[in-house]
Amino acid sequence: MSNKPLNKFRDKGISLTVWPGRNGGYQVKVEKSYKPKDSPEWKKTDSYFPDELERLEKLCADARRWIHEQGQGTEQPRIDDPLPAFDDSEIPF
C-alpha cells in the first residue's frame, strides 16, 4: 500500500480507510480503536460487537459510493477532496 490514504471514513471509534490498490484499483482497511479500562493506551482491533454493525455498514456504503464515483482512472483524488452528500434513503435496512 501507498503511505498516504486516498480517503478515510469515520464513525466514533470505527474507521474505514481507502488506499491505492494494484493496477489503479483500491484497497480498503477497516479497524476499530478503543481504550481498555485498565490501560492508558489506545488499541486497535478488527472485531466488532453486533450493535456496531449498522455503523460499519454505513461506512462501507459511503466508501463504496466514493470509490464508484472515482472510477478507475489513473488520477485518483486525495483525502482532502470534498465528499459527496450521503443519502441513506437508498439503503434497504
Q: How many domains does the chain have?
A: 1
Residue 15 has pLDDT above 70, yes or no: yes
**What is the model's pTM?**
0.69
Q: Residue 1: inside a domain, yes or no?
A: no
Q: Residue 62: inside a domain, yes or no?
A: yes
Report pLDDT digits (tens) over 78-93.
555 565 566 666 665 5
A 10 A CB-CB count for 46 gives 8
Residue 73 has pLDDT above 50, yes or no: no
Q: Residue 88: inside a domain, yes or no?
A: no
Dist. CA 64–CA 81, nearest whole Å:
16
Dist. CA 60–CA 9, nearest whole Å:
9
**Containing structural domain, residue 31:** 7-69
